[in-house]
Every structure is written in structure tokens, then in C-alpha cells.
Amino acid sequence: MIRLIRLEMKKVLKSRMPKILLSLALILSVVMALAVIHYANYTYQDAQGKEVTLTGFKAIEKNKEMMEPYEGPLTPEKIEHVFRVNREAEKTYEEGIPADSQEKERYPAKRILGSLRQVYFDKEGMPRSLSQIDDKDARNFYQVRDGVVADAIASKYPKSPLIQEKALALNDQIEKPFTFLYGYATSDSADYVLMLLIVLMLLCGILTAPVFSSDYQTGADDILRCTKNGRVRLAGAKVLSAFLLSGLCFIICMTIYLLIVNTAFGWDSLKASIQFTYNVTVIAPLTAGGVQKLTAGAGLLIFLAMISFILMISSKTKTAMVSMILALVFCFLPSLVSTIGSGSIIQWICCLMPAGGAGLTHSFLFELLGTNFLPAGDTGFWSPYVILIAAAIQLPLFIILTIRFYCRHEA
């Protein structure tokens, strides 16, 4: 069996296209990591009053330097101080705060204020300005936030008390006070993990699609399945070789990306609360590092489930071109379906699709940072759980179906 797998991998790698696809995957993993670093920026005024913008590693270092006084647990006292610094700066400079003053007095706090202010609303439900948030409101930030989360969940699922209970139970597991650290959680790194997952799925999907269909097309399969190791053993060797190539590609590319990004922003930044990545009302009880590990691990599971689905398609189609087209269609299908509507049926369909956790508009990461629960009778299930369970079931199921379809294939 090992010899068969080696021969199948050698057969695939002899072609030019697989080499191009695997090389492209490696290059893109590095390019995406460098893009995240490049988009880090820091703007200040020099001695001549000219505005200067730093990017890349210099910007990251300057941001770390400026943010250091505010890093660590955001206690109620520290939150109150952040709002007071902003309020005093606005009173001092009624006509607008100069850029150099923003750097000295306000810059470290404004990155935090953007997240904290999201939970303060007036009586009409409109966001309150920073000047309207007094010291008492600031000190009670965590109580106000939990109240906003509870109201949002109750409004979203008014007829499902069990879903409300599950959502609030997740929220109660969040460690407080939140930890603020400049780095991974305050950058676009998590979004690029999702983009890399999509790219790898597309490239490896193209690599995997012809595994069976190309032999059907050339007629080589008619000879191979008549040999001693034909049918089940040959099908198993083709499946395992496809998984080895694709899986190694995913692991190497994702590792390269995360090593570059984490080294640039600092490994300590992974201890930050995930609530500073998108919204402070996120109910997932995770740190930035926890989300990174979970997204990468879940991404690998979803990726392999999609590869197994593409292999199944390949075992049923007679030409390599058709299998490639179908593979690409199913890679983008969850994103297309999610644009149709937002009802519970659409959400169930998107989450249960093989690529449901790796779409441009519907993904495991977005669901993890949301509050979507899929209703099922009187209760409901948090959508990230549904995506993971579906992928775990689909992976072996599609492998079994692939082998079965291949063994029953008739020329």
C-alpha cells in the first residue's frame, strides 16, 4: 500500500500544474503575512509640522511603544482613565486636537475607545458621543456591556429562551476584565487566516479534482483496475496520496503565515481578549491565541472535508475539466447561498455544506465571532459547533463514498 501511495504522489508531482499550484500556495502564504505587516501604520507630525506615516515593522514597534501604558487587564479604573484622557483633550482643544497632541495625550487611548464606545447608546438607541460618557458610565462598562449583549440576544431570539440561555452561558465564560494588547487582535491577521484558507482550498481543489477523472478520461483506469491492486487498494492509495499532498501543503503554508505574523506582532499579543478584534459584544470566551488555534485547526478539518468531497466528485465525473469546474463551484457555493437570505434554513444549508466554514461571506471565523444559533425545535445550536460537527462527519463519509463510487465505476 505504501508503494502504491508513493507511486500516486510521484505521478501527481511529475506534472507541471501541481508543482505550480503548490509553489503558488507557498508564495501566497508569505505574501499574505507580509501584507498584514505592511498595512500596520502609525501617523505623526515631525518637527517641521509635516505629517509622516510609518508602515510595516517600524509602525508595529512604534505602536507597541505608544500602547504599552494601556496594555494589560482593562480594569474599570483604567477604562475610566481612558475616557477621561479623551474628554480632557477635547476640552483643551475645542477647535480640534492637533496631530502632535493626539500622539502625546490621546493616541494610546483612542485605539481602545473605538471598541469600548460600542456599548453606549442614548434613549433613542443611537450611539452616544465620547463626550456624553461620564466617569460613572465608564466604571460600569462591563455591566453595561453584559446588558447590551443580553438585550441583543433577547431581541434576536425572542421566542427561544433556551437559545438565550445558551448564548448568555457562553458570554458568562468570558474572562473579565478584558485584556488589551497591541498586536494580533488589533490587526487584520485573523481575516488573512480566512483568506489563506480559501486560497489553499481552491488551489488544492484544482490539484485534487483530476485524481480519478483524469484516468477515466485517458482510459488508463480500464487497465489499472484490472491489476492485482486495482479497485479498493488503488482507490485508497489515490485518496491517501491526495490527502498527504493537500494536508502537508495546508500545514506548511499556514505554519509559515502564523510564524511570520506572530513573530512580527509579538507572541505575547495572543493573550489579548478577542473582543478587541471585531466587537466587544462577541460572546466567544476566547483569547486572540485561542481564536487563532481554533481557526487554524477547524480550517484544517474543513479543508480536508472539502478535499474528500472533491475526490468524491472526481470519482463520479468522466473528465478532469468537469470535476475542476464542479470543485470550484462548490467552493464558492456557501458564499453564494448566504447572499440569498438570512433565514434559519439558509443558515443551516450554509453550515452543512462541505465548504460552509471557509467562505468569503460565510465562514467559521465570522460565525465564531457572531451570535448565530441555528434553531432546532425548542432549542438551537451555536453555528460554529454545527460547522465543526458537519465537517467531522463529512470527512469519513465522503471518503467511503469516493471509494465506493470508484469501485462501481463503469467505462
Instruction: For residue range 356-403, list pLDDT tens digits in order.
Output: 888 777 889 888 888 889 988 888 899 999 999 999 999 999 999 998
d(CA 111, CA 96): 18
pLDDT at 172: 92
> Hunting for cell 487587564 — which residue is that?
73
The CA distance from 401 to 312, in Å, is 7
For residues 269 and 236, state if they share a domain: yes
Q: Which of 211-215, 223-227, 245-249 has the highest mean pLDDT?
A: 245-249
Measured over the CA atoms of residue 282, residue 285, residue 288 and residue 291, the dihedral's sign is negative
Do 33 and 127 share a domain, yes or no?
no
Q: At a CB cut-off of 8 Å and minimum separation 6, what does 289 contact?
A: 184, 270, 271
| CB within 8 Å of 312: residues ≥ 6 apart | 398, 401, 402, 405
**pLDDT of 358:** 86
The confidence score (pLDDT) of residue 370 equals: 86
Report if residue 317 sits inside a domain: yes
Report the run of H or E that residue 73 belongs to, with start and end.
strand 72-73
- Closest Cα to residue 180, out of 276, 267, 315? 276
Side-chain-side CA neighbours of 225 within 13 Å: the count stands at 17
- pLDDT of res. 85: 77
Range in 46-50, 193-197, 250-254 the model is least confident about: 46-50
Predicted TM-score of the model (pTM)? 0.87
Tell whether 222 is covered by a domain.
Answer: yes
Q: Which of 144, 159, 174 is the last residue of a domain?
A: 159
Q: Compute the distance between CA of residue 292 and CA of residue 193 in angstroms, rounded to an integer.
A: 8
Is 30 a member of any domain?
A: yes
Whether 173 is in a domain gets the answer no
The Cα 243–Cα 237 span in angstroms is: 10
Label residue 72 exposed, middle or buried (CB < 10 Å: 0-12, 13-18, 19+).
middle
Q: What is the pLDDT of residues 310-340, one digit of tens each?
A: 999 988 888 888 988 998 898 888 888 888 8
Say how far apart CA 211 and CA 307 lie, in whole Å: 11
Residue 235 has pLDDT above 60, yes or no: yes
Residue 12 and residue 61 share a domain: no
Shared-domain flag, residues 126 and 230:
no
Query: The domain containing residue 142 runs over which residues?
Result: 56-159
Q: 281: pLDDT confidence band, cut at 50, 70 and 90? A: confident
At 219 the pLDDT is 67
Mean pLDDT score, 249-260: 95
- C-alpha cell, 289: 491565541
375 sits in which H/E element: strand 373-376
Report pLDDT digits (tens) over 83-126. 887 777 666 655 555 554 455 556 667 777 877 888 888 767 77
Same domain, 153 and 202: no
DSSP label at 122?
Answer: -
Residue 344's pLDDT band, with cuts at 50, 70 and 90, is confident
Element at 27 (helix H, strand E): helix 16-38
Q: How many domains does the chain have?
A: 2
Q: Are residues 315 and 384 in the same domain?
A: yes
On the question of a cis peptide bond just before residue 177, with omega within 30 degrees of 0, the verdict is: yes
What is the pLDDT, as a whole number, of residue 280?
Answer: 86
Compute the mean pLDDT over every residue in the chain, rounded to the nearest whole number: 84
Helix (H) or strand (E) holding 393: helix 383-407
154 in the same domain as 91: yes
Domain assignment present for 44: no
Residue 409 confidence (pLDDT)? 66
Counting Cα atoms < 13 Å in the Cβ hemisphere of 145 gives 23
Q: Is 95 exposed, middle or buried (0-12, 13-18, 19+ CB in 10 A)?
A: exposed
Q: What does DSSP assign to residue 287?
A: B
